[in-house]
Amino acid sequence: MHIRYGYRIDMLCDEPMPLLAMMDIHPSRRSDITMADALVARQTRNPRESVPSVEFLDGFGNLCRWLMVPAGGVILRARGIIYHSGFAEEQGPGAEAIAPERLAPDLLPFLRASRFCETDKLAATARERFSSVESGWARVVSICDFVHQHLRYNARLATSSRSAFEVFEEETGASRDYAHLAITLCRCMDVPARYCTGYLPPIGVDKDYREDGFSAWFEAYLGDRWWTFDASDALPRIGHVLIARGRDASEVPGLTPFGPQRTVHFQVIAEEVDGARFPISSASRREHSARHGLLSGSGR
């Protein structure tokens, strides 16, 4: 199947302002894009004038853009279509936990505390609840089940400063809060875990299930690879489209303005393209995309 995604964000500012944008599809998924999603940045006071950007990869391999927003503000737009298998994320019930002393050095940062994941405050709770569960896949699933049952989903109560321990105490939050709490509990049990943000369309759920088309989930390292988990849902979801990864949300903000500004418009698109499902090979995938007008330059 294919997923249509994108956004329009209008930001106003009185003075020129640098802006860091982390809104592009992650490099690991860009080969699946069937209609280009190039960022369009226009000046608010003169929409015919573009705002140039410089692209670079950060330390986690996320695609970033650096813009100098002129006085008045900027209008940011992007829209694209990406191929997705149409199935829920792969499961690995036999995946085993790796002892910390056997982990590669590049995995160690995902065992440590980070800004929103205070392992010291939840270590005792994690050991009490999950030490008796078989290590590996079963333990991570148990953590996800606990987080899902312990928290009440309420996007309206979400804040950008709430930590995993505060989420645990308050027992409510949005997808980022579910991810932070699950990540923290995994790290407390010596399982490397990292935060993911991206698009998640309402496929197989009610249209108003999410606050918008953006969502957060996490990945845990078991066996010899990273696996996708989403503690905010009781069943595996379909359609995760990755934008960025980091130790927690503080390292993958969508937009980071370096100056006073006001966001006056924020719209996100994340939806399945009707009638465009399940190509079975790369050749049929190309033919399928062309037939449904999903290729770049197709005019759709």
Task: List, in order of start, the domains of the chain with CATH numbers.
Answer: 2-85+254-291 (2.60.40.2250), 100-238 (3.10.620.30)
Listed range (105-109, 166-170, 211-215) with the worst mean pLDDT: 211-215
- DSSP state letters, the chain: -EEEEEEEEEEE-SS-EEEEE--SPPGGGGGGEEE----EEEESS-TTSB--EEEEE-TTS-EEEEEEEPTT-EEEEEEEEEE--SSPPP--TTPPP--GGGS-GGGGGGTS-BTTB-HHHHHHHHHHHHTTSPTTHHHHHHHHHHHHHH-EE-GGG--SS--HHHHHHHTEE-HHHHHHHHHHHHHHTT--EEEEEEE---SSS-TTSSSSSEEEEEEEEETTEEEEE-TT-SS--S--EEEEEESSGGG--SEEESS--EEEEEEEEEEEPTT-----SHHHHHHHHHHTT-STTS--
pLDDT given for residue 212 in this prediction: 66
- Stretch 77-87: mean pLDDT: 91
Share of the chain above pLDDT 70, in %: 89
For residue range 178-194, list pLDDT tens digits in order.
999 999 999 999 999 99
What six digits make up the tokens of 194? 């990292």
pLDDT given for residue 110 in this prediction: 98
Is the pLDDT at 299 greater than 70? The verdict is no
Is the pLDDT at 205 greater than 80? The verdict is no
Name, in order, each residue with C-beta under 8 angstroms of 277's C-beta and a sequence gap of 6 or more. 1, 86
Is the pLDDT at 279 greater than 60? The verdict is no
pLDDT given for residue 287 in this prediction: 66
pLDDT given for residue 119 in this prediction: 97
Question: pLDDT confidence of 234, banded at 50, 70, 90?
Answer: confident
pLDDT given for residue 233 in this prediction: 84
pLDDT given for residue 208 in this prediction: 52
Give the span between the Cα atoms of 119 and 167, in whole angstroms.
Answer: 13
pLDDT given for residue 280 in this prediction: 47
For residue range 5-61, list pLDDT tens digits in order.
999 999 999 999 999 999 999 999 999 999 877 789 999 999 999 999 999 999 999
Q: What is the pTM of this model?
A: 0.88
Is the pLDDT at 297 greater than 50? The verdict is no
Is the pLDDT at 136 greater than 90? The verdict is yes
